[in-house]
Amino acid sequence: MPHTIELSAEPRAEMGKGQVKALRRTGYVPANVYGGVSESMPIKVQAKALDGVLRHSSATTLIDLKVGSSAIRKCFVRDVRYAPVKGAPLHVDFFAVNMDTRMRAIVQLVLRGESPAARGADVMLLALLSQVHVEGRPGDLPETIEVDVTGIVEVEQAIHVKDLKLPDGVAVLDDPETIVVKAQFMRAAAAAAESEAEDSAAAGAGTGAAEAEAKGVATRAPAH
């Protein structure tokens, strides 16, 4: 079950470019919260508090956002814009969720354990999938999905999407036969990885986030 992080914010009156720059110099980050039944609201968050949230959260970590004296809103961090050089957050979008409504999200896969098959000098584990698309209520969505590789004991043995262990109420949307990770001889693994990289480049790696946003999928760029 994902953990919840508390974050306080204040209504924001600073709107213009100059005012927003001045706001950042006072230790605040401009932000917006949208979604749910309310209209989009401009807010500001203390940079130090926001940094702690971003370091310990994922696209599916629930945020208890308290804006001034208003009621707490359950949110996801939807988008973060970073400074190109220093990497500090310049602007954040929070998406208010309905806890009873199912939604789609992109969840990272994390390999756990040691595969007996990969102990051989010429064998390695080839991870072919780093994230999956899932659907569930906001409170059920996992922050990551662990993939136990200790059961891979032979070369060419693989774990597929259909083998992933998901929380109750969460469904995976990807092809169940897609390979997540498999044991291969190193030469074959290197060739497969090169082919995968070429396919990704040809498809256009930058289109995934835009498509996800257009479909209302919970996704977030990694922190700098």
Domain boundaries, the chain: 4-96, 103-202
User: What's the predicted TM-score (pTM) here?
Assistant: 0.75
For the ranges 3-12, 115-124, 172-181, 206-215, the one whose mean pLDDT is highest = 172-181
Question: Quick one: pLDDT at residue 1?
Answer: 52
Q: Which residue has the higher pLDDT, 210 or 179?
A: 179
Distance separating alpha carbons of residues 13 and 49, to the nearest angstrom: 20
In this prediction, residues 47-74 reach a mean pLDDT of 91
Q: Which of 117-126, 134-143, 178-187 has the lowest mean pLDDT?
A: 117-126
Question: Quick one: pLDDT at residue 198?
Answer: 66
Distance separating alpha carbons of residues 120 and 135, to the nearest angstrom: 38
In this prediction, residues 85-109 reach a mean pLDDT of 93
In this prediction, residues 184-198 reach a mean pLDDT of 67
Residue 89 CA, chain-centre distance (Å), reads 17
CB 116 within 8 A of CB 155: no
In this prediction, residues 111-125 reach a mean pLDDT of 88
Is pLDDT above 80 for 38?
A: no
What dotted CATH number matches 4-96?
A: 2.40.240.10
Buried b (16+ CB within 10 A) or exposed e, 163-176: ebebeeebebebee
Is pLDDT above 50 for 209?
A: no
Q: Which residue has the higher pLDDT, 38 or 135?
A: 135
In this prediction, residues 188-199 reach a mean pLDDT of 62
Instruction: List, in order, residues 6 or more apart from 167 with CB less than 8 Å away.
Output: 1, 136, 140, 141, 142
- Is 2.170.120.20 the CATH number for 103-202? yes
Is pLDDT above 70 for 216?
A: no
Closest CA relative to residue 100, chosen from 66, 139, 60, 72 = 139
How confident is the model over 175-189, as pLDDT tens digits?
Answer: 999 999 999 887 765
Distance separating alpha carbons of residues 60 and 49, to the nearest angstrom: 18
Residue 34 CA, chain-centre distance (Å), reads 18
